[in-house]
Amino acid sequence: MPSASIARFVSAALSTVAAAMFAGHWFLGLRLDSGGRCAAADFPTCVDQGRRLEAVAILSGPAVLLAVALVIYLVRPVLERRRRVIVGVTLPAEAPLRHDVEAFASATGLRRAPLIEVGKAQEPFVYGAWPPYRLVVPVASTLNAVNRAPRDLALLAHEIGHARAGDATRYGAVIACWYASILVVVAPLAIDAWRIAQSVGVAAPQLTWRLVVVTAMLLLAVISANRAREFEADARAFQDEPAARVPIGPDRTPALVAAIGSGQHNWLRFAPSPDRRLAALADPVRRTQPAFHDAAAAGIAAGLLGTELSLLVELAFPVNVWPAYLTVALLTAVPAVGALGLPAGLPRPRVAALGLLFGSGLLIGTQLAPRASADWWRAFPAAGGRAAQMNLFAATPATAALVAVTALLIGLAVTAWAAALARHRALIWLVGVPLLAVPLATWLLALRLAAGSRWPPGAIAGVLLTPARQVPLIAVATVAAICAILRHHQVTPSLVVPAQPPGARQVLAVSALWLLTVLAVVLHPSSEQAVQDLRASAPRWDSVPPPATTNAAYACFWVNHLGPEGLPGAEEVTGLGQVGAYLSTVDDPTLRQAGTSLAGPGRAGITDWRQAAATLDLVMTRCDSLLSALDQPLPKDTK
């Protein structure tokens, strides 16, 4: 699994990108109100173009963020050089310090030794956008190398450790992302939201606090990434060959410990405290053991990305949301599984805690996502159903509790499985990604239905636990169970690692998950009743007659009153025929055209369900557009 600093970098980068996607959607999608500008003529083409523009708007956020981050990333080393390097002073070729640096670099396996510069700072440091990095040494160090000062040489070894780990690139990227997110996402979004606070209402404070929390979380990720790289550099300072120890003697431990342990430290410093560094040096397990906050951060990043990405992917699948959510979950699971990275041999309580924290992070991430701030279509009517509420507090308490518990279970199951197979990295990537992605897709969809449509738990289960949606879950759960069982048989008899848990419980857990999934599908017919009940209780096209008018605005009020659940389904041919017959009489050409299409030949209803679903979506979009563009009172005479 990747080192801790890489995992933390991934989490920070994902969170930044997710926030930037919302910023792009806000400024170029919601604020421009592109759907409302479509004229009746050639409305479908305009809507298609609107979708493309909306996708471009969402993607433009990360694009601008990355462009700004790239500039910051490239400029920072230049500024660093101007501020902290004594330009023009060159270390002679025969200087002892140069020999030391080359010896350390060679010992740690660096192909190209860092370029040495003389700096104004009191301590050496490594910087640069890419290898070979630049090692800045204080003027004093050039002479201390002559004196064989052990602390100087130990610090030098530590800095070479940084160069070997290549963390200057990652750290520079994390810092650049953070600055760019403030410049491109947080500040502009918060300012703009408050500027139009009157029209967006409570969304402005809701959006602001989320942005502040995400920014604080990113700052913690930056500090965390930096601390992780200091531990790694300390460790690398010891991971050399005996021959490489010649420059500073047979044992550099006391020197390095003295050097890092005697510095002044306060909690505001980005570097870890000397006590923690000493503890990490003394106990290597501390360096490889994932921290609790790492698991939570990985979950939050996945939740953030999944929520924001769903908006983009839904544009590609406007009719059927299941493939959209599956795509989102797969795209999210790849970095999430990487960022979660677990070493082998973790004790069970720790695995359980990490799993629960990952699951909690997943839940928190979805709620921290800027998209969850409000029902955006209320403030921006042309935003459509895609911008529906994702705030779980909008759901009924029972549904919210169920969704929250499911997030914890997903986190626990995936983490426990990954911990049991920690030694088989290829398997974790190949099976772990779909193992997380499939339930995550179902969960995200459940969250959407619970928060956006306020569906009760039974109805959500009825919609989601269909064979078509659960076959992938059964498939990945089966493969995961087989992997866990095979690993159990491989490891237990040979007792390669005595401290390794036997894995029987993991196998049982995975098998139980598999059984529950199959049962859920078997029990599906009973849960379908809940969906039918829900649909029966909602206003339906056949129970609420259409207004006796051809005015398109009144027709749209009727359509919106029914909502997607109240309109006939794509396979209800008779209903499609009747709704189509009514819409084909209204005074809006687009709705008329859609109505004719739904009515089909002889007004018997369209039989192609895909075309029906697309047309119904078009009707909803057109009505959103028409109602958002209403700028005068409706006529009293509805005849």
Partner 1 sequence: MSGEDLVRAVLSEVAPQELPHIDLVLDAYRRSPWPVVPEPDGHGHPTGAGVPVDQVASWGVFVTAFVANVLATMLVEEGVKRTGRGLLGWFRKPKPQLTTEVPRLVDEGKLAEVRAAALQAALDRGFPDSSAERFADSVATILQSRRS
Q: Token pair for residue 71?
A: 């500039």
CB atoms within 10 A of CB 330: 17
| Least distance from partner 1 to the Cβ atom of residue 181, Å | 20
Burial class (CB in 10 A: 0-12, 13-18, 19+), 349: exposed
CB atoms within 10 A of CB 53: 17
Near partner 1 by CB under 8 A: residue from 74, 78, 86, 405: 86
Which lies closer to partner 1 via its Cβ, residue 54 or residue 230? 230
Q: Token pair for residue 330?
A: 């797969």
| Least distance from partner 1 to the Cβ atom of residue 3, Å | 17
Which lies closer to partner 1 via its Cβ, residue 175 or residue 581? 175
Which lies closer to partner 1 via its Cβ, residue 113 or residue 257? 257
Near partner 1 by CB under 8 A: residue from 270, 467, 515, 563: 270
Near partner 1 by CB under 8 A: residue from 39, 63, 75, 146: 146
> Alpha-carbon Rg of the chain, whole angstroms?
30
Looking at residues 88 to 127 of the shown chain, list those that interact with partner 1 (rule: CB under 8 A): 88-89, 91-92, 95, 118, 120-125
| Least distance from partner 1 to the Cβ atom of residue 6, Å | 17
Q: Token pair for residue 265?
A: 């430290």
Q: Token pair for residue 369?
A: 């996502």
Burial track 601-619 (b if 16+ CB lie within 10 A, e otherwise): eeeebbeeeeebbbbbbbb
Q: Token pair for residue 569?
A: 């389904």
**DSSP sequence for 8-22:** HHHHHHHHHHHHHHH
Pattern 199-228, binding to partner 1, x per CB under 8 A? ---------------------------x--
Q: Token pair for residue 614?
A: 């697309």
In 3D, which of 635, 574, 584, 560 has the Cα closest to residue 605? 574
Which lies closer to partner 1 via its Cβ, residue 254 or residue 347? 254
468 binds partner 1, rule: CB under 8 A: no
Which lies closer to partner 1 via its Cβ, residue 121 or residue 496? 121
| Least distance from partner 1 to the Cβ atom of residue 226, Å | 6
The sign one gets for the Cα dihedral 151, 154, 156, 158 is: negative
CA distance 25 to 17: 12
Q: What values do phi and psi take at 346, rounded to 5?
A: -75, 140
Strands (E), 537-590: none
Looking at residues 173 to 202 of the shown chain, list those that interact with partner 1 (rule: CB under 8 A): none
147 binds partner 1, rule: CB under 8 A: yes
Q: Find the distance separating the first CA and the last CA of the chain, reported in whole Å.
A: 70
138 binds partner 1, rule: CB under 8 A: yes
Which lies closer to partner 1 via its Cβ, residue 278 or residue 319? 278
Near partner 1 by CB under 8 A: residue from 63, 75, 140, 219: 140
Q: Token pair for residue 541?
A: 């096209």
| Least distance from partner 1 to the Cβ atom of residue 378, Å | 45
Which lies closer to partner 1 via its Cβ, residue 75 or residue 258? 258
| Least distance from partner 1 to the Cβ atom of residue 87, Å | 7
Which lies closer to partner 1 via its Cβ, residue 121 or residue 187? 121
269 binds partner 1, rule: CB under 8 A: yes
CB atoms within 10 A of CB 107: 20
Of 99-107, 185-193, 259-267, 382-390, the segment contacting partner 1 by CB under 8 A is 259-267
Q: Which residues make Cβ contacts (< 8 Å) with residue 289, sequence separation at least 6?
A: 343, 346, 350
Near partner 1 by CB under 8 A: residue from 4, 21, 64, 155: 155
In 3D, which of 302, 253, 313, 300 has the Cα closest to residue 58? 313
Helix and strand numbers (H, E) in the chain are 27, 3
| Least distance from partner 1 to the Cβ atom of residue 149, Å | 7
Which lies closer to partner 1 via its Cβ, residue 167 or residue 314? 167
455, amino acid identity: W
Of 270-278, 371-379, 484-492, 575-583, the segment contacting partner 1 by CB under 8 A is 270-278
CA distance 61 to 53: 13
Q: What is the DSSP letter of 137?
A: E
Of 35-43, 134-142, 397-405, 529-537, the segment contacting partner 1 by CB under 8 A is 134-142
Looking at residues 44 to 83 of the shown chain, list those that interact with partner 1 (rule: CB under 8 A): none
Q: What values do phi and psi take at 116, rounded to 5?
A: -95, 135
Site size toward partner 1, by CB under 8 A: 43
Near partner 1 by CB under 8 A: residue from 32, 139, 291, 486: 139
Of 140-148, 195-203, 291-299, 384-392, the segment contacting partner 1 by CB under 8 A is 140-148
For residue 22, how far is the Cα from the chain centroid?
12
Of 37-45, 144-152, 395-403, 563-571, the segment contacting partner 1 by CB under 8 A is 144-152
The sign one gets for the Cα dihedral 159, 164, 165, 170 is: positive
Please report, as ranges, the residues that interact with partner 1 according to CB under 8 A.
84, 86-89, 91-92, 95, 118, 120-125, 138-144, 146-147, 149, 151-152, 155, 158, 171, 226, 230, 258-260, 262-265, 269-271, 274
